[in-house]
A and B are shown apart, each in its own frame.
Chain A
Amino acid sequence: KAGVTQTPRYLIKTRGQQVTLSCSPISGHRSVSWYQQTPGQGLQFLFEYFSETQRNKGNFPGRFSGRQFSNSRSEMNVSTLELGDSALYLCASSLAPPGTGTYEQYFGPGTRLTVT
């Protein structure tokens, strides 16, 4: 079974631009979560989706948005990029609904975004 795939793997953008990152969950998984990983702040939760509905949102500005499609694929968008948005963005998928005891998250390899 294929794992979580994220595209693109690497991305370089300029301050002020916007970017869209894509995540394809494991086949059959309906929960998708996004995390930002930086050396300074570590791993921080961005969003969580289940069946196209945002179930939870982390403490990030409104420039960060996401969505989930009917096939469970998810995208996240960052508008008006800042230097501090440079990070590894990780997507995770799960078979079970969020918060259930069997909710085990499988992570993708991440998209490394560099903002110059």
Chain B
Amino acid sequence: AQSVTQLDSQVPVFEEAPVELRCNYSSSVSVYLFWYVQYPNQGLQLLLKYLSGSTLVKGINGFEAEFNKSQTSFHLRKPSVHISDTAEYFCAVSSVSGNTGKLIFGQGTTLQVKP
């Protein structure tokens, strides 16, 4: 079984400041890792994903994440945030094996960017 823990439910930050959203996971099997963003009244949009290879993954809108296998973490970072980054962010995992794309999500982190 897999589980995902997002360590902060809310992260307030000022515009142009850096931000890190933390995600830890637990799994007995190898997993793919994802970060999704959800804007109000919209579905989820994929920011980035880790499948294999380089542990530093770059995504859209200037976001990046680093996979740390020993820490079982996949933290999301952005060096300078904008007001438009205000949204809910979800970390998710899916099993590498088992012929399923089922995503297990964390509880989400609300990023509030203040002017």
A residues sitting closer than 8 Å to B (CB atoms) are 4, 31, 33, 35, 42-45, 48, 55-56, 58, 90, 92, 94, 97-99, 101, 103-110
Contacts and interface: CB of A to CB of B under 8 A. Distances in A.
Contact of A99 (B36, B49, B90, B100): B100
A45 B104 contact: yes
28 contacts: A4-B43, A31-B101, A33-B101, A42-B106, A43-B90, A43-B105, A43-B108, A44-B105, A45-B102, A45-B104, A48-B101, A48-B102, A55-B99, A92-B43, A98-B100, A99-B95, A99-B97, A99-B99, A101-B32, A101-B51, A104-B49, A105-B46, A105-B101, A106-B46, A107-B43, A107-B44, A108-B43, A109-B41
Contacts of A98: 99-102
B24 interface: no
A54 to B, nearest CB: 11
Nearest to B49: A104
Q: Is the interface of B mostly helix, strand, loop or mixed?
A: loop
A45 B103 contact: yes
A33 B44 contact: no
* Interface size bracket, B side: 20 to 34
A44 B45 CA distance: 16
B63 to A, nearest CB: 16
A105 B99 contact: no
A48 B45 CA distance: 19
Contacts of A94: 101
A35 B98 CA distance: 19
B84 interface: no
Contacts of B106: 42
B95 A35 contact: no
B107 interface: yes
Given A55-B100, A99-B98, A90 B32 contact: no
Given A31-B101, A110-B42, A110-B43, 18 more contacts: A33-B102, A43-B108, A44-B105, A45-B103, A48-B100, A48-B101, A48-B102, A55-B99, A56-B100, A97-B99, A99-B94, A99-B99, A101-B51, A104-B46, A107-B36, A107-B44, A107-B45, A109-B42
